[in-house]
Amino acid sequence: MGLKIYTGGTFDLLHAGHVELLRKCKELGEVTVALNTDDFIENYKGKPPVMTYQEREAVLLACRYVDRVIPNHGGTDSKPSILAVKPDLIVIGSDWAKKDYYKQMQFTTDWLDQHGIGLAYVPYSWGISSTEIKRRIAVD
């Protein structure tokens, strides 16, 4: 058996970029997705997701690369969700390499080290996003 893998996000309008991230996670081990709640998304992005939590959860659970989905009840503080999973590794897209992921998730490298958790970046899938899908739909 592989590592315990944690990844998180909104996963609204699941697309090929999401699937590729999840596939790369699955190559490393057992995948748990911490799925952002509808309330958090609306507060954070200023608008609700297109798909409800239950719809996004159902789609993720149907993906062969996902073993488990949990709600990210901590909102911007991901530590409670991370501690609930007790992962060996947090896996995120490389688009976060140019952003302050630690600040966004409200943890530090010391906190990760204290809990024996690694952080890995996987290549981001450029050219596809939920925002891009919404733009394509709006053009039709």
| Amino acid identity at 121 | Y
Catalytic residue among 24, 26, 47, 99: 47
Phi, then psi, of 95 in degrees rounded to 5: -60, -25
Catalytic entry in 4, 45, 103, 134:
45
Respond yes or no: is residue 45 known to be catalytic: yes
> What is the DSSP pairing of strand 3-9 with strand 118-122?
unpaired
Contact 38, 52 (CB under 8 A): yes
* Residues composing the chain: 140
Q: Which residues are marked as active site? A: 45, 47
